[in-house]
């Protein structure tokens, strides 16, 4: 990937000359370095118990008088009343503004489906990867993204450097969440052992702010482009090798 500077890495990934694949011909959209022969293809009802009491026929029940002491009850030791119960409110997420960075950004959680070795698993993993990218832009923390990306992924490394630099020294980034269409995958193992997924992806407007609240860089509003995610599956998990734009794939 070639970038004039690290902020240019926002246009994540280099491009490949490729077209949208068909289920029966996955090799048609593969980047040149991946274009090889592909191998063929979730009421229980609760019953209440009624306590019945009876009297002996012909006998009047003995009268009983409750003493003041027995008429009162004391709360059980350790009991907590609603008035004294304390609840802890969850931190409220606040997106970045022109006055400061985002606060309490929820950390993306890897869904169980994304751990599966299946077409649905790869698709869930792809969706999660883009969530970690958006999180990195909002917080300057690329750790969740890098944890599921290969160390040699150039696109991932560029994103890591860009977001960390954009949040250092009191600076911050506004925007950057990813918006994607449902990913697709032919789920065919390539000769190099990789699997691939395609999606149309765009990023919300990204602005880099200086510590003095001036705008350092405005990337404007972008349109969706077709992305390809190349991944491998080993040790019961997916790892992204690269995530790049496909050449000539911008939506109209």
DSSP secondary structure letters along 117-173: SSHHHHHHHHHHHHHHHHHHHHHS--HHHHHTB-TT-HHHHHHHHHHHHHHGGG-EE
Beta strands in the chain (DSSP E): 15-17, 172-174, 178-180, 195-203, 207-209, 215-218, 225-234, 237-247
Whole-number pLDDT of residue 250: 67
CATH architecture of 6-34+95-247: Roll (3.10)
Residue listed under structure tokens 């792809």: 126
Question: Is the entire prediction scored with pTM above 0.75?
Answer: no
Output the tens digit of pLDDT for each of the chain's 252 residues. 444 444 445 545 444 434 334 444 444 444 444 444 333 333 333 333 223 333 333 444 445 444 444 444 555 555 554 544 567 788 999 999 999 999 999 999 999 999 999 999 999 999 999 999 999 999 999 999 999 999 999 999 999 999 999 999 999 999 999 999 999 999 999 999 999 999 999 999 999 999 999 999 999 888 999 999 999 999 999 999 999 999 766 664
Look at the alpha carbons of 116, 118, 120, 124 in this order and tell me if their dihedral is positive or negative. positive
CA-based nearest residue to 136, from 157, 160, 156: 160
How far is the C-alpha of 211 from the C-alpha of 171, rounded, in Å?
5
What distance separates the 2 farthest-apart alpha carbons in the chain? 103
A 10 A CB-CB count for 108 gives 19
Within 10 A of 1 (CB to CB), how many other CB atoms are there?
16
CB-CB neighbours of 219 under 10 Å: 17
Quote the CA–CA distance of 249 and 252 in Å, as a whole number.
9
């Amino acid at each position: 990937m070639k970038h004039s500077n690290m902020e240019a890495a926002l246009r994540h990934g280099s491009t490949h000359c490729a077209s949208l694949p068909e289920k029966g011909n996955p090799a048609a959209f593969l980047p040149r370095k991946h274009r090889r022969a592909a191998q063929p293809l979730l009421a229980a009802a609760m019953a209440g118990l009624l306590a019945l009491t009876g009297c002996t026929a012909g006998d009047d029940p003995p009268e009983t008088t409750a003493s003041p002491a027995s008429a009162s009850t004391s709360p059980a030791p350790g009991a907590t009343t609603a008035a004294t119960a304390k609840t802890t409110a969850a931190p409220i997420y606040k997106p970045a503004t022109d006055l400061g960075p985002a606060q309490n950004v929820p950390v993306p959680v890897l869904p169980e489906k994304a751990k599966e070795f299946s077409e649905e698993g790869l698709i869930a993993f792809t969706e999660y990867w883009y969530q970690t990218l958006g999180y990195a832009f909002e917080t300057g923390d690329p750790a969740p993204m890098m944890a599921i990306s290969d160390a040699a992924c150039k696109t991932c490394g560029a994103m890591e450097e860009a977001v960390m630099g954009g949040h250092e020294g009191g600076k911050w980034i506004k925007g950057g969440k990813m918006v994607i269409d449902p990913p697709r995958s032919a789920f065919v193992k390539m000769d190099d052992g990789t699997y691939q997924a395609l999606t149309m992806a765009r990023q919300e407007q990204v602005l880099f702010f200086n510590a003095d609240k001036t705008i350092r860089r405005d990337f404007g509003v972008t349109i969706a482009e077709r992305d390809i995610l190349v991944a491998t599956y080993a040790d019961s998990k997916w790892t992204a090798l690269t995530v790049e734009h496909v050449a000539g794939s911008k939506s109209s």
